[in-house]
Amino acid sequence: DSAIPSLPGKSTISAMRAGVYFSAVGAIDRLIEELLSHSKDAPIVYITGGDAEWLCRSLRSEHLFVPSLVLEGLCVVVSERSS
């Protein structure tokens, strides 16, 4: 299910899903916040992977959603090796 979990959870399972989801989103936002506090330049944050689009819906921090980043990187490696 790709819906953002609602709070509060109405069952143990829905509460656990919400906890995992918002823990991940909060951890990403906090990491970006920490990076910003240690640098004068804002980091470029790429979000990719199976749940990236889902997580991006709740992120407060600036980020770039790149669904095919791994495949694009593999194409670069293959291209460089074959040249």
User: pLDDT by residue (tens digit) across 8-28?
Assistant: 989 999 999 999 999 999 999
Band the pLDDT of 29: cuts 50, 70, 90: very high
Which pLDDT value is given to residue 31?
Answer: 93
Find all residues with CB under 8 Å of 4, minimum gap 6, and list them. Answer: 21, 54, 57, 58
- Round to whole Å and give the CA distance between 82 and 37: 41
Could you report the per-residue pLDDT of 48-61, keeping only the tens digit for each? 988 999 999 999 99
Predicted local distance difference test score (pLDDT) of residue 1: 57
